[in-house]
Amino acid sequence: MKVGIISKPNTKWQIVIPKEIRQKLGITKDHFLHLLIRGNGLFIQPIQEVVHQTDTNDNYLKILEETKGAWGIIQDKENKTEKEKRSEELAASKKRKDLW
């Protein structure tokens, strides 16, 4: 097993991202971070762009439309069987996974 950098939470359960990692990922104090639990671990990813409240509803709706995934496909075709819906969900999930 390859051991990376080891860190320990402080008394407030906060952790510090080491400078070496922050620099490599381009993380600054102004970045938002996406935290995702995967299995028994925590995945932290810097967010490149955040939709702010000042954005128009049209921009927000456009983002929702572009990222609707499998649920949007299913709602577009309501007469599908459960098996067909599940198949489309799995295909959309695989597509998103492949993009990672």
Backbone angles phi, psi at 31, to 5 degrees: -75, 145
SS (H, E, C) the chain: CCCCCCCCCCCCCCCCCCHHHHHHHCCCCCCEEEEEEECCEEEEEEECCCCCCCCCHHHHHHHHHHCCHHHHHHHHCCCCCHHHHHHHHHHHHHHHHHHC
Distances (CA, A) of 40 to 7, 35, 74, 85, 96: 16, 13, 31, 29, 21
pLDDT digits (tens, 9 = 90+) for 40-77: 988 888 887 766 665 567 777 777 777 766 555 545 55
pLDDT band at 12 (very low <50, low <70, confident <90, very high): very high
More confident position, 53 or 18: 18
Q: How confident is the model at residue 4 (pLDDT cuts 50, 70, 90)?
A: confident
N- to C-terminal Cα separation, the chain: 23
Structural domains in the chain plus CATH codes: 1-50 (2.10.260), 57-99 (no CATH)
Q: How confident is the model at residue 85 (pLDDT cuts 50, 70, 90)?
A: confident
